[in-house]
Amino acid sequence: MVEHTGDEETAGDDGRADGVSEVLDRPLPEGIRRRVIALVAEAFGGLTVAELPPQLRQYARFTPVRRAKFAGNAMAAAVETDTAFRQRVSARLRETGSELAQALEAGSPPAAADPEDVAAMAFVLRPPGWVKLVTAAGEEAQRASAERAGEEAQRELRQLREELTRVRGEARTDAERARGELETVRKEGEALQRKLRSALSDVRRGEAALRKVHGELEALRSDAAAELAAALGETRRVKARLAEAEAALEASRRAVREGRSVEDMRLRLLLDTVLDAAQGLRRELALPPTSVHPADLVDAVEPGRMTPKDIAARALSETDPALLDQLLALPQAHLVVDGYNVTKTGYPTMPLDKQRLRLLGGLSMLAAQTGAEMTCVFDGAELAAPVLLAPPRGVRVLFSKPGVTADELIRQLVRAEPPGRPVVVVSTDREVADGVAKAGARPVASALLLKRLART
């Protein structure tokens, strides 16, 4: 980065005329450049957004560390090219009361200060002689870098020499160990040769033993063949004895069957005796023949005897609202409503709270007209807070607990009712309808209730 000064910068940042335009004729060393960016990033926060160059305003809310990380190049370029911005940064550094800034303004930088810190502050403040300070700091940094490089080279050379000495020692040790291992291998080879000769002798002895075993095996095969023939003869004799045993068993079974036939005959004779006695008792009592059966005593409507009113009642469609009126007219009827199933069928575009109020208002009027008990169930699993709702007169409002669906709550309500009580469940959910039907309730579709409420 090279700082160019023009005719407009012939006076110092504090208004004093130095009479000389100083120009840095070489790039800033990297160490000084990083410290300049750190100074600008620190003073950056004391400026308003309007005082910042347009390209730096997006970093106004960043912390100094993040500002230096993401906007370092942009801030360096702004300090180099934007004189007004650099002067604002200089003024901010003076306001912070930095001892280094005050010493540079007085023309006497501290002798104990880091040269790179002095050069970075001088580059931003531009006091008289700032170019010399920056140049001297850069040369000092280069000299220190060269010294560090020389020390590093010396250190590496010492390490290499030590490594060479160590490697030579290890090589001598490895050579001695290899000679020892070679002698050991030679001795092991001689031992293996002796073992090989002994193994060959063992193989010859084994072959002789194998030939002997083959002879013994042939003898055993001959003996086994003789024993097999004897076993086959014994098997034939056992089969003959088994056939004789089976014949004796069949004879005993036949004798058992004949004895059972005698018992069956005696039982049949006893049964005939009882039947004859029953016939005699019927003749003695002289009972008239029966023309009426128990099924004829059950109260029902026979075909051809139904009244027009009965036919009309039984011909109601499943979608006729009058069917719901008939069901609610039953004694002690209880209407259980799957709330959201009905509201999302009838008015799904309304908010949930409006859906609940509309449905409960209709159920309140229906309860007043029919006198039936009514319970409306809503799914409360996703409620973030309790619902502030005043149940209307004649309608019980229930929300399911967390972990329990409205469908399960409806099934619990149906199971809680005594057998025989008329319970009507309003839901289009097939699983709910099938479940409550098995429990003895009467399921009806949500559309039927919506049509009935539209008439109230």
- Residues 185-199 have pLDDT tens digits of 988 888 999 999 888
| pLDDT confidence of residue 231 | 85
Confidence of residue 149 (pLDDT cuts 50, 70, 90): confident
| pLDDT confidence of residue 444 | 94
Type and span of the H or E element at 444: strand 442-444
Cβ neighbors of 173 (< 8 A, separation 6 or more) are: none
Task: Tell me the average pLDDT across 436-442.
Answer: 91
Top-confidence residue, 50 or 344: 344
Task: Tell me the average pLDDT across 316-338.
Answer: 87
Burial label for 343, CB within 10 Å (0-12, 13-18, 19+), is buried
Task: Tell me the average pLDDT across 392-421.
Answer: 90
Task: Tell me the average pLDDT across 224-234.
Answer: 87
Task: Tell me the average pLDDT across 289-311.
Answer: 45
- For the chain, give the number of residues: 456
Phi-psi label, residue 331: left if phi above 0, alpha if psi -120 to 50, beta otherwise: beta
Token pair, residue 31, equals 């160490």
**340 neighbors 406 (Cβ within 8 angstroms):** yes
pLDDT, tens digit, for every residue of 47-75? 777 778 888 778 778 887 887 778 777 77
| pLDDT confidence of residue 355 | 92
| pLDDT confidence of residue 384 | 58
Task: Tell me the average pLDDT across 189-215.
Answer: 89
- Pairing label, strands 423-426, 395-399: unpaired
Confidence of residue 302 (pLDDT cuts 50, 70, 90): very low
For the cut 90, the answer to whether the pLDDT of residue 365 exceeds it is: yes
**405 neighbors 431 (Cβ within 8 angstroms):** no
Work out the percent of the chain whose per-residue pLDDT is above 90: 19
For the cut 80, the answer to whether the pLDDT of residue 269 exceeds it is: no
User: Side chain identity at 273, as an amino acid letter?
Assistant: T
In sequence order, which ranges of 96-129 are alpha helices (DSSP H)? 99-105, 115-125
| pLDDT confidence of residue 102 | 66
pTM for this structure?
0.35
Task: Tell me the average pLDDT across 407-424.
Answer: 90
| pLDDT confidence of residue 433 | 92
User: To 10 degrees, what angle do helices 430-438 and 406-416 make?
Assistant: 20
User: To 10 degrees, what angle do helices 352-370 and 321-328 make?
Assistant: 60
Between CA 324 and CA 454 the distance in angstroms is 13
Q: Which residue has the tokens 């429990």?
A: 439
Between CA 188 and CA 259 the distance in angstroms is 94
Mean pLDDT: which of 80-84, 152-156, 287-291, 296-300 is highest?
152-156
Task: Tell me the average pLDDT across 97-106.
Answer: 69
